[in-house]
Amino acid sequence: MADTTDFRAEKMFSVKDYVCVVTGGGSGIGLMSAQALAANGAKVYITGRRVEALETAAKFHNPGPYGGEIIPLGPCDVTKKADLEKLYEDLAKREKHINLLVAAAGISGPKAEPNKSNATSLKENLWNNESFEEWNDTYNTDVTSVYFTTVALLPLLQAASESHGKLAASVIVISSMSGIMRHAQGHFSYNAAKGATVHLSKLMSAEFQKANIRVNSIAPGYFPSEMTAKESGRDQKSELPDEKVQEKGHVPAERGGHDEEMGMAVLFLAKNRYVNGEILAVDGGVLNVVAGR
């Protein structure tokens, strides 16, 4: 039975002594996740293809003496088994277990607006602006890599549950509200891939709980990242002006998500062992407006 002091936020959401891995951790939602975890006591390894971005993110955003730490570990291309095997080996040399994997690496893929009512014009627009190769790259990065990254780290994740209790280890898959809605947004390949990521999260949750590992997913709306803002600043952070979000006309919050709001979602799923197999939309109310499935 819990004492009232057990409900203090710093106790419920502390990840002190957690060991975490964040793919795509050098910018955007990956970096937000790393910041939230490190600020609350975790040792967070961030990985990605760009070593300079990882090192810059760690330099600017380590929480200092009162938190955990952000450690760059790369390069790692999550679409390559050899890189994932090396990531596992590097981590296994450093750590006995991993408490949390945040799979945040992703790309947006090609864009082609289905904005023609004439079928011939519609075909021309979509046919000429997308390719099989781009679709495959998007699926590989946004779906297949999530699966193989998780599989590569399964032994280290299971080790956390063995030493810290049932379902102590978990995976948070960063999917997207785009994988839940029916509006293509000009991104057929991205939205289709994210739909697959959503379902993959459910499949892994059901299957990997046998190994005492939870799997949940966060489906973000518009958050500042290199994907939405097209760039990062010198500190690897991006800005998404409110007016850019308001132009879309389907965001009840009338702004992009704040970094801290993503951090809240990450900490909730990281700590609550009674949540498993869920897709948490953090979207400013978009899915109340745009048709979902």
The DSSP code for 52 is H
Q: Indicate which residue of 18, 139, 194, 201 is catalytic.
A: 194
Q: Which helix (H) or strand (E) holds 267?
A: helix 259-271
Vertex 106 angle, CA 272 and 88, to 5° = 65
**Beta-sheet strands, E only, within the chain:** 19-23, 43-47, 69-72, 100-103, 169-174, 213-220, 279-282
Give me 64's structure tokens: 């200092």
Active site residue 190: yes
Q: Indicate which residue of 27, 33, 108, 175 is catalytic.
A: 175
Measured CA to CA, the distance from residue 177 to residue 194 in angstroms comes to 8
Active site residue 175: yes
Q: What are the beta bridge partners of residue 181? A: 292
Q: Indicate which residue of 88, 139, 190, 222 is catalytic.
A: 190
Q: What are phi and psi of 19, to 5 degrees?
A: -110, 120
Catalytic residues, by residue number, are 175, 190, 194
